């Protein structure tokens, strides 16, 4: 019984480490100069696939979010049609959402489906930081 528990905990531990390594790898690749948008504003990149069962639900969440935040630029990449772009972004799961600040800094990477509330908190937090930055410049 204890051996099974130790085995399960070690698997959980290594999966957690693999997840963190993937996010770090994605973040470093994107910080190396890959810009998600030329708008100069907050950008939400949504990576989806036509074969993905949960991707339509993620697109629906993003559509609701874009109505709430009209200044948010949304870029959608279909991995089957835009394979090279997905490869450059180091996307390994769909859906994946990436949130980028106006200065090009990647702030959030979400591998897998993200519900409206957590995604809205991420966008709201970043937009609040962006508006504070602009107020400081004025």
Q: What is the pLDDT of residues 101-113, one digit of tens each?
A: 988 888 999 999 9
Higher pLDDT, 89 or 135: 89
* 3 state SS of 42: coil
pTM tops 0.75, yes or no: no
Q: What is the pLDDT of residues 43-70, one digit of tens each?
A: 999 999 999 999 999 999 999 999 999 9
Length of the chain: 138
Q: How confident is the model at residue 137 (pLDDT cuts 50, 70, 90)?
A: very low
Are the CB atoms for 28 and 37 separated by under 8 Å?
Answer: no
Alpha carbon distance 108, 99 (integer Å): 5
Q: 96-100 and 43-48: which strand pairing?
A: antiparallel
How many structural domains comprise the chain?
Answer: 1
| Average pLDDT score over the chain | 85
- CATH code assigned at 68: 3.40.30.10
Q: Tell me which residue range forms the domain holding 20.
A: 2-137
Diameter over CA atoms, the chain: 64
């Amino acid at each position: 019984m204890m051996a099974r528990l130790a085995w399960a905990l070690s698997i959980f531990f290594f999966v957690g480490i693999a997840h963190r390594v993937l996010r770090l790898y994605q973040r470093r690749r994107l910080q190396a100069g890959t810009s998600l948008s030329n708008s100069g504003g907050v950008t939400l990149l949504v990576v989806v696939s036509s074969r993905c069962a949960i991707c339509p639900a993620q697109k629906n969440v993003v559509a609701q979010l874009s109505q709430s935040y009209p200044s948010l630029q949304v870029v959608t990449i279909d991995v089957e049609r835009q394979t090279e772009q997905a490869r450059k972004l180091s996307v390994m799961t769909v859906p994946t959402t990436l949130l980028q600040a106006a200065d090009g800094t990647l702030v959030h990477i979400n591998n897998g489906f993200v519900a409206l509330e957590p995604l809205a908190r991420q966008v709201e937090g970043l937009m609040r930081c962006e508006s504070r930055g602009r107020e400081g410049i004025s």
